[in-house]
Chain A
Amino acid sequence: MKALLLLAAGMLVAAPAWTQNRVIPQAGLKSGFEFLSPDLKKMQLDDFANPGTLWVDRGEKLWRAEAGAAKKSCADCHGDARASMKGVAARYPQVDRHSGDLMTLEARILQSRVERQKAVPFARESEDLLALSAYVAYQSRGMAMEADIEGAARKHFDAGEAMFFRRRGQLNLNCAHCHDANWGRTLYAERISQGQPNAYPAYRLEWQTLGSLERRLRACLSGVRAEILPFGSPEYADLALYLSWRAKGLPIETPGVRR
């Protein structure tokens, strides 16, 4: 069975047209949560024990804080995030109607920050950007991921899919080798999950802090000794869109807890 999957993953490299099919059927999707130890599961589920709650709380304060030359808070335009941001994260990454660019949730928040608040952008992976993206994504907790891959999003999806199946790095591995063909097995001392994006931003014990999906992807890339692109590179957004489609139906867990 595993060998068959491996073969399938290999053939996908040679024949991108076939990749419309899901390697992991939707009914077989498993969140990274299912691969956690009982202790970490408990930590994620308990808001008081989950370290990510700190960022969500900080995000709530930032949401109401006036900023930039426009002297407006997020709330001034968007109102109560519990209503206006509900379900938003589940639809990201999403194509910007005006520019045609594919935007991750972080990119969208930065866009509002710069274009609407007229404020200096937050740095990628800064506490403030993580806090706001955690707060916004938290409003979709429990909701199913449902990124749109049709229309203008299609070419980004195709690029992300190609990236997922492209061998890279000195170790010459693609994402599917670990997350489609070998999930459930052990890599050194770690159980490999399906590589789903639904927990992010997530608190990772190894980081001792909250981090974005992109930061997690960079860890996988450097694991295979592949080139790391700058944060916010369009390639990562494309890959994130493929991951969102691949995770379609999994509930958002932000803020997740991971090893």
Chain B
Amino acid sequence: MQYAVNAAAALLVAAMAAGFAQAQTPPLSLVPYVVAGGSIEKPLAAPGNVQRGQAIVLDKSLSSCVLCHVVPDPEHRPMGNIAPPLAGVGARLSAGQMRLRLVDSTLLNAHSIMPPYYRVEGLHQVAPAWRGKPIMSAQQIEDMVAWLLTLKEPPR
């Protein structure tokens, strides 16, 4: 199953590189989205709330982001360094590009280790408590996008 998903993603990436318009439809239980040109342009829910987005990203057990990323945090809590620091990401990426990375980074890079935050299919042996549920709701994705877009300052 995973093989098929990875292969599909690899094709997608290859096709995007070749400059074709791409369309991919998510399973029915999730809000439908369209991946095109390395981005999901259309918001999945109501406009994101910056404060809520910040709280979600900084909440380790809710979002896990800080397991891997260093993100700007007034309280300087511990954070991991597996992934690039997110300071400045708001200047590097558009809302649509950010949304795609949060929804499912493997659609962009089949080998990405970033968890797919808005996906339920093609996952293996998910614990019963989480089965069939995306890690985040559509609204939580939008909230995070809104906050990440405010991170214009590069890491110091």
Contact = CB atoms under 8 A, between A and B. Distances in A.
Interface centre among A6, A177, A182, A188, by most B CB within 10 Å? A188
Nearest to A7: B111
A186 B81 contact: yes
Contacts of B125: 168-169, 226-227
A1 interface: no
Contacts of A10: 6, 110-111
A17 interface: no
B28 to A, nearest CB: 19
Given A173-B115, A188-B80, A189-B78, A168 B124 contact: yes
A188 B67 CA distance: 4
A169 to B, nearest CB: 6
Contact of B115 (A9, A171, A181, A187): A171
B130 to A, nearest CB: 4
B123 interface: yes
B55 interface: no
Interface centre among B3, B66, B67, B111, by most A CB within 10 Å? B111
B106 interface: yes
Interface in B87-108: 106
Interface in A155-205: 166-173, 177, 181-182, 185-189, 192
A47 to B, nearest CB: 32
A172 B115 contact: yes
A181 B68 CA distance: 13
A171 B81 contact: no
Contacts of A168: 123-126
B61 to A, nearest CB: 10
A170 B135 contact: yes
Interface centre among B68, B80, B81, by most A CB within 10 Å? B80
Contacts of B129: 225
A14 B3 CA distance: 6
Interface of A: 6-7, 9-10, 13-14, 166-173, 177, 181-182, 185-189, 192, 222, 225-228
Interface of B: 2-3, 6-7, 60, 64, 66-68, 78-82, 106, 110-111, 113, 115-116, 123-130, 133, 135
Nearest 7 pairs of A and B residues by beta carbon: A10-B111, A189-B78, A171-B115, A227-B125, A170-B130, A168-B125, A168-B124
20 contacts: A9-B111, A10-B111, A13-B6, A14-B3, A167-B2, A168-B123, A168-B124, A169-B125, A170-B123, A172-B115, A173-B115, A182-B113, A185-B80, A185-B81, A188-B60, A189-B78, A225-B127, A226-B125, A226-B126, A226-B127
